Amino acid sequence: MNYDLLIRNATVVDGTRAPRYEADIAVNNGRIAAIGRLEGAQADVELDASGRIVAPGFIDAHTHDDRLMLSAPDMAPKVSQGVTTVVAGNCGCSLAPAPKGMRAPVTPPLDLLDDAGGWFRFATFRDYVEELAAHPPATNCALLVGHTMLRVQTMEHLGRPAAKSEVARMRELAEEALEAGALGVSTGLYYEPANAAPTEEVVEVCRPLAKRNGLYVTHMRDEGDNVLASLEETFRIGRELGVPVVISHHKVAGSANHGRSEETLPLIEARMKSQPIALDCYPYCASSTILSAGRAAVATKTLVTWSRPHPEVAGMDLEEIRRDFKLGIDQLLPAGAIYFSMSEADVQRILAFEHTMIGSDGLPHDAAPHPRLWGTFARVLGHYARGLGLFPLETAVYKMTGLTARNFGLADRGVLKPGMAADITIFDAGEIDERSSFAAPIQPAKGIEIVIVNGAIVWRDGKPTGARPGQVLKRS
């Protein structure tokens, strides 16, 4: 038998949490053709994976890669850590649709995708999907349409609930996006441009989700003092729409709330008995988003990740900037920041929770990004699974593959078995870890050897191969 690609002597961790086993894996036409002892088989490309783990390609459950896929299609921050699919359009922020276009200054937090506005050039969601199909990146993607983007494109003043006609227009845009291939709607109710939206507005804009069993994905209104109320709001939206919900980057922020994952996780688990709920988490106790005085006030330490008027301060501590440059927050805006505001015990409890998926929430256009952009998946496998023993390797892989594929309805991804798409990551379990840090965040992970997307090798010998086989994935 002759295959396109053959991986010999693999230690297979298949994405289901089943114990690892030894096998060869054959790939044909972008799909897994066979797994087993394939002694007589031959292939155009043969890889020896002796002593290596062969896993499904990782799925990044939470990204802001909407524009990265077009502006840096090698997707190096992602494929370098074994990611083969990214879920984009999170936190209410999507690059499309922009029927009215976008001019600078771009309303934060949409500016995390492009602060100059030039990339918001797709009048319809379908135009964006077609651009990705015409110029595919190295990874696959699953797309969400952002409620904040719909508000910015529909409303003159964002500090109030949408009027009936505005809700109707947003619903129409959401429906078009879902028809064009979006898997769901995301919200960023925490952020100013969407904060004035009452629960009812969200429900009415998201109505088209029901028909397609789309997902409701949310950066909740509050991840601090009122986190329980925000969870209940999320569950209510899911129930009223009759669709699954995804709680983005679950955390309990602010020192007064440290330890409260002991309240949030049991509540999530209890509600899961009566409605479909998923959640993701990044493996760090610092968050990152746009810079604001309010957020800096409740953090123990704040690092600036970018500043439009003062690019020279990127990577520096806010205190240091104040002292050495005599610059305050107002003079740095628009800007981004990293906030140390969580407890390690909560991060570990949330990561280890049976239903938690791994999502990076990486911000790919920041000058000095949070290390989660380049480090998330390697850190979970290295620091948390191998180093701390927080869970077995099989569980760590499941949290970034099989579990995520099931929650997002990516039926032919996330598990290694015949018939599935050939998204595969080969890594050294003894070596894998992040190399990125808060001081030096732009570093490819250690231990990732070969990454394959739809049967094509996209990362090898520590660099992108130039192959761009990514597809826009549909929910089934």
Task: Report DSSP letters for 143-160, one per residue.
Answer: EEEEHHHHHHHH-S--SS
User: What angle (nearest 5°) sits at the alpha carbon of residue 88, between those of residues 241 and 154?
Assistant: 60
User: Closest CB to Cu ion among 175 and 361?
Assistant: 361
Q: How far is the CB of 464 from Zn ion (least distance, A)?
A: 27
Q: How far is the CB of 219 from Cu ion (least distance, A)?
A: 6
Site for Zn ion in 412-451 (CB under 5 A): none
Determine contact, residues 443/392, Cβ cutoff 8 Å.
Answer: no
Interface with Zn ion by CB under 5 A: which range of 119-127, 218-226, 275-283, 407-415? Answer: 218-226
429 binds, among Cu ion, Zn ion, none (CB under 5 to 8 A by kind): none
Q: How far is the CB of 100 from Zn ion (least distance, A)?
A: 24
User: Closest CB to Cu ion among 3 and 190?
Assistant: 190
Interface with Zn ion by CB under 5 A: which range of 74-82, 84-92, 425-433, 458-466? Answer: 84-92
Residue 296, sorted as left (phi over 0), alpha (psi -120 to 50) or beta, turns out to be alpha
Element spanning 178, H or E: helix 164-180
User: Closest CB to Zn ion among 148 and 261?
Assistant: 148
Q: How far is the CB of 221 from Cu ion (least distance, A)?
A: 14
Q: How far is the CB of 248 from Zn ion (least distance, A)?
A: 5
User: Closest CB to Cu ion among 25 and 113?
Assistant: 113
Q: How far is the CB of 186 from Zn ion (least distance, A)?
A: 9
User: Closest CB to Zn ion among 339 and 427?
Assistant: 339
CB burial of residue 131 (10 Å; 0-12, 13-18, 19+): middle
Cα-flanking dihedrals φ and ψ of residue 399, to 5°?
-65, -15
Element spanning 212, H or E: helix 209-212
175 binds, among Zn ion, Cu ion, none (CB under 5 to 8 A by kind): none
421 binds, among Zn ion, Cu ion, none (CB under 5 to 8 A by kind): none
Q: How far is the CB of 143 from Zn ion (least distance, A)?
A: 16
Interface with Zn ion by CB under 5 A: which range of 17-25, 86-94, 263-271, 316-324? Answer: 86-94
Q: How far is the CB of 35 from Zn ion (least distance, A)?
A: 37
> From residue 94 to residue 113, what is the string marking binding to Zn ion with x (rule CB under 5 A)?
--------------------
Q: How far is the CB of 225 from Zn ion (least distance, A)?
A: 18
Residue 221 interacting with Zn ion (CB under 5 A): no
449 binds, among Zn ion, Cu ion, none (CB under 5 to 8 A by kind): none
In the bound state, the residue with its beta carbon closest to Cu ion is 91
Note the residues at the interface with Cu ion (CB under 5 A): 90-91, 361
User: Closest CB to Cu ion among 76 and 113?
Assistant: 113
User: Closest CB to Zn ion among 249 and 260?
Assistant: 249
Task: Report DSSP letters for 73-129, one per residue.
Answer: TT-HHHHTTTEEEEEES-TT--S---TT---SSPPTTGGGT-SSSTT---SSHHHHH
User: Closest CB to Zn ion among 169 and 219?
Assistant: 219
Residue 219 interacting with Zn ion (CB under 5 A): yes
Residue 91 interacting with Zn ion (CB under 5 A): yes
Element spanning 22, H or E: strand 21-28
CB burial of residue 81 (10 Å; 0-12, 13-18, 19+): buried
**What is the distance between the alpha carbons of residues 234 and 242, in angstroms, rounded to a whole number?**
12
Q: Which DSSP letter does residue 311 get?
A: G
Q: Which residues pair with 472 in a beta bridge?
A: 141
User: Closest CB to Cu ion among 32 and 290?
Assistant: 290
Give the residue among 393, 456, 455 at the shortest CA–CA distance from 427: 393
In the β-sheet with 184-188, what is the strand arrangement from edge to edge?
58-60, 83-88, 140-146, 184-188, 215-219, 245-247, 277-281, 356-358
Residue 69 interacting with Zn ion (CB under 5 A): no
Determine contact, residues 61/358, Cβ cutoff 8 Å.
Answer: yes
Task: Report DSSP letters for 226-284, one per residue.
Answer: THHHHHHHHHHHHHHHTS-EEE-S----SGGGTTTHHHHHHHHHHHHTTS-EEEEE-S-
Residue 5 interacting with Zn ion (CB under 5 A): no
Interface with Zn ion by CB under 5 A: which range of 115-123, 216-224, 230-238, 341-349? Answer: 216-224
User: Closest CB to Zn ion among 218 and 343?
Assistant: 218
Determine contact, residues 241/209, Cβ cutoff 8 Å.
Answer: yes
Q: Which residues would be at the binding site for Zn ion (CB under 5 A)?
A: 91, 219
